């Protein structure tokens, strides 16, 4: 009944559930697609201009799409009161949280992998800076969205109209991460400035909030 | 208690009047910006007061998580609420200052942006307190407050760096401030801190009263069905 | 001289905000008081 | 695992009050329940039966008063020795019965062989390749019971185990409950069909608007 064992089986269970129901990923993909198309309609930018705004557009699209997935993760646990089955068990709270965060990380990453080519085509993107830096930016940025997203989705379970509550709680706190992702991506695309600082900021954000989440999640889970 | 409150009220009133006089009349006129620069005294004093209140909220929230004492919970709540009021003042006076000086209402100046970010965080905190259905709403709110507090330094770094890359208008102030202006500013800061304290006391009493009423109502419903 | 308007606007706005907040507090206070009265009975 | 002292009390409640806002679900419960017995909890809807079970299971914290379960006032230490079955199934609809149990087994550190046994003991087929969402109500209810007993709990809390179950299945389930009691375990059964357990229960506990109004070894014959 080790920590990792529970994390692993919870993660596998979540992926299996998502694979069978496809609640989150379908809604997320469609939503992100809509955002891409609508943005593309309303701006119709040339290559130079799109390079400057693409960083913002991409991450805003991912952020909104991620909220769909984040709301799903806990909604799934409320059906048939399964979350209580976890809560009555002797398993500690953190594996549940970590598994959920990893699951969301995987779902949002899949979304990003599928949507990025579309962005590149629609906005005629070509990075002028070191393109490989986009990989750590994507990984750290996605984790930043997902770790607090999973946490605040758990908090908003205990509120009225929880689906609206999640973005209200999540977006203000995510501001530094958002600035980091957007500016790092823009820096790489335009090649004007180094993205180093932003990557370091994202890393700091991830470390600080992963620690905070693991310290405090038990309180959130126990607050019925 | 009652006596202390009256004394504080009188001190606050005197300080506020004196601060107003000092800011509008006694303080020297700034050379480049002219009289508009006098907004500075209210703007900055409110900002400092708001930051102080948010710091109190952070400390009280941690204390609540550690000790689970009702007083710290109330302190966290009221400091966030009064803090948001002062923060609103900052956000309203900021554009009123920016417009005549820079010709624009809003600029993503680091300090203004950070204040805005703080305002968002603490409004979401108040929303959570309002809409929570949990019997442990106070715990959830305290957790959010801790997150908010941790977020501030990161926010600061991010905004600093973000604006650092673009030429941004710099607010007159900081190190180059005239000694007389400093003195006027400090009087106003003192006045606003006293005002905040006063508001907090009033709000505290209100909250205590409200909880008493809720408790009595709950007790009554306990009794009722017993018959 | 136009800039003076902004100065006054800012000072007035500050006091309006505090005034509104105080008014909200007063209203809440009155409501709690009333509930207390009904409880006493 | 310590020896079970059959004379010790399984649950001790001292002036337990549970309030949801202005609504009081439990209005001062003071009671002691000896170990190794089967208690049938009866009462109208809203009498506080479910809240009582949830409070014992540690899913809800009492607003006031203390509750001690299996000799511990901190539920954390005894969770592994408690089984809880709620009115909803507490199972994932998109997984098969065995997949569900294997996952929950992990949380208790129970081997998958024991999970099979739990399913067999409620007269279901562990190899049945059907999602729980497609089960009949009776099957789901039995699978839910299998989940609750998979860690062989000393204290078993059952909320409406027989609701919507056909008569024959209900008989089988109550037979299983008697077996469990005869092995020295303590059971709390909330039900609207006390007739099923009339001859086997040790005590009937009557609740009314958040209080225990009566405890008797015989079922009261109340004119419906």
Q: Which DSSP string corresponds to B37-93?
A: GGHHHHHHHHHHHHHHHHHHHHHHHHHHHHH--HHHHHHHHHHHHHHHHHHHHHHHH
The more confidently predicted of residues B214 and A148 is A148
Residues of chain A found within 8 Å of residue B137, distances taken between Cβ atoms: 158, 223
Q: So what's the pLDDT on residue A87?
A: 95
Q: So what's the pLDDT on residue B173?
A: 45
Check D27 against B214: CB less than 8 A apart.
Answer: no
Q: So what's the pLDDT on residue B225?
A: 56
- Kindly report, residue by residue over C1-41, the tens digit of the pLDDT: 477 888 889 999 999 999 999 999 999 999 999 988 888 87
- Kindly report, residue by residue over B158-199, the tens digit of the pLDDT: 888 887 654 444 444 444 667 788 888 999 999 999 999 999
Contact D139, D159 (CB under 8 A): no
CA distance A187 to A129: 7
Q: So what's the pLDDT on residue A142?
A: 96
How many domains in chain A? Answer: 1
Q: What is the mean pLDDT of residues D185-197?
A: 91
Statement: residue A47 has pLDDT above 80: no
Largest CA distance in chain B: 77
Percent of chain D with pLDDT over 70: 95
Q: What is the mean pLDDT of residues A102-129?
A: 88
The residues spanned by each domain of chain B are 2-199
Helix B137-164 crosses helix B39-67 at what angle (to 10 degrees)? 140
List the single residue in A with minimal CA-CA distance to B151.
Answer: A173
Instruction: State the pLDDT confidence band at D46, using cuts at 50, 70 and 90.
Output: confident
Q: How many CB pairs under 8 A join A and B?
A: 97
D118-144 burial, b for 16+ CB within 10 Å, e for fewer? bbebbebebeeeebbbebeebbbbbbb
Determine the structural domain holding residue A60 and report its residue range. 3-222
The more confidently predicted of residues D203 and B170 is D203
Statement: residue D66 has pLDDT above 90: yes
Q: What is the mean pLDDT of chain A?
A: 90
Q: What is the mean pLDDT of residues D54-78?
A: 91
Statement: residue D193 has pLDDT above 50: yes
Q: So what's the pLDDT on residue D2?
A: 45
In this prediction the pTM is: 0.91
Tokens coding A104: 């969301």
Q: Which of A17-26, B114-123, B194-203, D31-40 has the lowest mean pLDDT?
A: A17-26
The more confidently predicted of residues D141 and A39 is D141
Q: So what's the pLDDT on residue A21?
A: 87
Chain A contact present for D99, CB below 8 A:
yes
Statement: residue A82 has pLDDT above 80: yes
Q: Which residues of chain B have pLDDT under 50?
A: 166-175, 227
Q: Can chain A be said to touch chain C, i.e. do they have 3 or more Cβ pairs within 8 angstroms? A: no
Instruction: State the pLDDT confidence band at D224, using cuts at 50, 70 and 90.
Output: very low
Q: So what's the pLDDT on residue B214?
A: 86
Chain B contact present for A78, CB below 8 A:
no
Q: What is the mean pLDDT of residues D36-53?
A: 92
Contact D176, D83 (CB under 8 A): no
Residues of chain B found within 8 Å of residue D61, distances taken between Cβ atoms: 135-136
List the single residue in A with minimal CA-CA distance to B166.
Answer: A193
Strands D203-208 and D211-216: antiparallel
> A217: closest CA among A151, A146, A144?
A151
Instruction: Give just the sign of the alpha carbon dihedral D189, D194, D198, D204.
Output: positive
Considering only the beta carbons, identify the residue of B34, B93, B212 that sits closest to C14: B93
Angle at alpha carbon of residue D178, lines to D174 and D184, rounded to 5°: 150
The more confidently predicted of residues D173 and C41 is D173
Instruction: State the pLDDT confidence band at D3, using cuts at 50, 70 and 90.
Output: very low
Q: What is the mean pLDDT of residues D99-125?
A: 93
Tokens coding D169: 């299945």
- φ and ψ of D88, to 5 deg: -70, 165
Statement: residue D39 has pLDDT above 60: yes
Residues of chain B found within 8 Å of residue A175, distances taken between Cβ atoms: 117, 120, 151, 155, 158
Three-state DSSP at B152 gives helix
The more confidently predicted of residues A167 and B215 is A167
Q: So what's the pLDDT on residue D91?
A: 96
Considering only the beta carbons, identify the residue of B93, B202, B217 that sits closest to C13: B93
Q: What is the mean pLDDT of residues D87-104?
A: 94
CA distance B88 to A189: 37
> B184: closest CA among B9, B40, B12, B33?
B40
Residue carrying the six token digits 């805005």? B116
Q: Which residues pair with D159 in a beta bridge?
A: D190
Tokens coding A117: 């080519």
Percent of chain A with pLDDT over 70: 99
Considering only the beta carbons, identify the residue of B38, B46, B206 that sits closest to C29: B206
Considering only the beta carbons, identify the residue of A155, A173, A197 that sits closest to B161: A197
Q: So what's the pLDDT on residue B1?
A: 66
CA distance B13 to A156: 42
Q: What is the mean pLDDT of chain D?
A: 89
Instruction: State the pLDDT confidence band at A191, using cuts at 50, 70 and 90.
Output: confident
Instruction: State the pLDDT confidence band at A162, using cuts at 50, 70 and 90.
Output: confident
- Kindly report, residue by residue over B82-96, the tens digit of the pLDDT: 999 999 999 999 888
Statement: residue A125 has pLDDT above 50: yes
Residue carrying the six token digits 């960083």? A55
Q: What is the mean pLDDT of residues D130-146?
A: 92
Q: Can you list the domains of chain D with their CATH numbers?
A: 9-94+153-216 (3.40.50.300)
Q: So what's the pLDDT on residue A170?
A: 95
Statement: residue A84 has pLDDT above 90: yes
CA distance A40 to A48: 15
């Amino acid at each position: 009944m080790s920590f990792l064992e529970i994390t692993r089986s919870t993660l596998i269970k979540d992926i299996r559930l998502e694979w069978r129901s496809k609640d989150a990923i379908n809604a997320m993909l469609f939503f992100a697609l809509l955002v891409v198309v609508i943005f593309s309609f309303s701006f119709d930018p040339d290559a130079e201009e799109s390079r400057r705004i693409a960083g913002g557009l991409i991450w805003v699209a991912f952020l909104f799409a991620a909220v769909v997935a984040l709301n799903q993760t806990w909604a799934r646990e409320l059906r048939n009161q399964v979350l209580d089955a976890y809560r009555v068990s002797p398993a500690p709270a953190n594996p549940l949280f970590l598994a959920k965060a990893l699951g969301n990380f995987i779902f949002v990453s899949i979304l990003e992998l599928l949507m990025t080519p579309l962005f590149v085509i629609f906005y005629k993107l070509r990075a002028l800076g070191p393109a490989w830096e986009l990989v750590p930016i994507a990984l750290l940025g996605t984790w930043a969205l997902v770790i607090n997203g999973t946490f605040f989705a758990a908090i908003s379970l205990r509120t009225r109209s929880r689906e609206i509550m999640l973005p209200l709680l999540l977006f203000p706190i995510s501001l530094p991460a958002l600035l980091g992702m957007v500016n790092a991506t823009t820096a790489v695309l335009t090649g004007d400035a180094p993205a180093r600082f932003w990557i370091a900021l994202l890393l700091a954000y991830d470390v600080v909030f992963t620690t905070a989440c693991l310290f405090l999640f038990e309180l959130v889970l126990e607050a019925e | 208690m009652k006596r202390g409150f009256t004394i504080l009220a009188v001190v606050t009133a005197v300080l506020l009047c004196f601060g107003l006089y000092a800011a509008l009349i006694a303080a020297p006129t700034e050379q480049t910006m002219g009289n508009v620069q006098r907004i500075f005294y209210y703007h900055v004093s409110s900002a400092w007061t708001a930051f102080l209140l948010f710091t109190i909220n952070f400390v009280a929230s941690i204390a609540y998580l550690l000790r689970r004492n009702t007083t710290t919970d109330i302190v966290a709540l009221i400091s966030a609420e009064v803090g948001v009021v002062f923060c609103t003042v900052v956000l309203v006076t900021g554009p009123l200052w920016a417009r005549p000086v820079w010709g624009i209402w809003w600029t993503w100046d680091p300090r203004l942006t950070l204040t805005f970010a703080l305002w968002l965080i603490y409004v979401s905190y108040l929303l959570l307190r309002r809409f929570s259905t949990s019997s442990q709403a106070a715990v959830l709110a305290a957790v959010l407050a801790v997150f908010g507090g941790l977020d501030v330094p990161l926010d600061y770094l991010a905004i600093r760096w973000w604006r650092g890359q673009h030429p941004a208008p710099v607010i007159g102030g900081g190190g180059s401030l005239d000694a007389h202006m400093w003195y006027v500013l400090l009087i106003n800061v003192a006045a606003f801190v006293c005002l905040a304290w006063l508001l907090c006391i009033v709000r505290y009493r209100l909250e205590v009263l409200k909880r008493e009423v809720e408790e009595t109502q709950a007790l009554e419903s306990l009794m009722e069905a017993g018959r | 001289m136009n800039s003076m308007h902004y100065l006054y606007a800012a000072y007035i706005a500050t006091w309006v905000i505090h005034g509104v907040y105080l008014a909200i507090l007063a209203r809440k206070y009155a409501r709690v008081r009333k509930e207390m009265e009904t409880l006493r009975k | 695992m310590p020896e079970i002292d059959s004379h010790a009390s399984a649950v001790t409640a001292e002036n337990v009050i549970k309030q949801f806002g202005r609504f009081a679900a439990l209005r001062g419960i003071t009671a002691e329940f000896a170990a190794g017995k089967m208690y049938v909890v009866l009462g109208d809807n809203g009498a506080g039966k479910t809240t009582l079970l949830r409070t014992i299971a540690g899913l809800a914290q009492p607003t006031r008063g203390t509750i001690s379960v299996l000799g511990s006032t901190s539920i954390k230490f005894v969770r592994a020795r408690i089984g809880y079955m709620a009115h909803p199934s507490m199972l994932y609809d998109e997984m098969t019965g065995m997949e569900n149990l294997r996952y929950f087994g992990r949380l208790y550190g129970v081997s998958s062989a024991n999970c099979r046994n739990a399913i067999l003991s409620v007269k279901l087929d562990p190899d049945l390749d059907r999602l729980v969402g497609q089960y009949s109500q009776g099957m789901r209810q039995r699978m839910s019971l299998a989940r609750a007993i998979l860690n062989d709990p000393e204290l078993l809390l059952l909320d409406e185990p027989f609701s919507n179950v056909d008569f024959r299945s209900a008989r089988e389930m109550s037979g299983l409950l008697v077996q469990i009691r005869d092995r020295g375990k303590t059971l709390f059964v909330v039900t609207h069909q006390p007739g099923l357990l009339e001859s086997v229960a040790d005590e009937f506990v009557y609740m009314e608007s958040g209080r225990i109004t009566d405890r008797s070894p015989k079922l009261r014959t109340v004119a419906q």
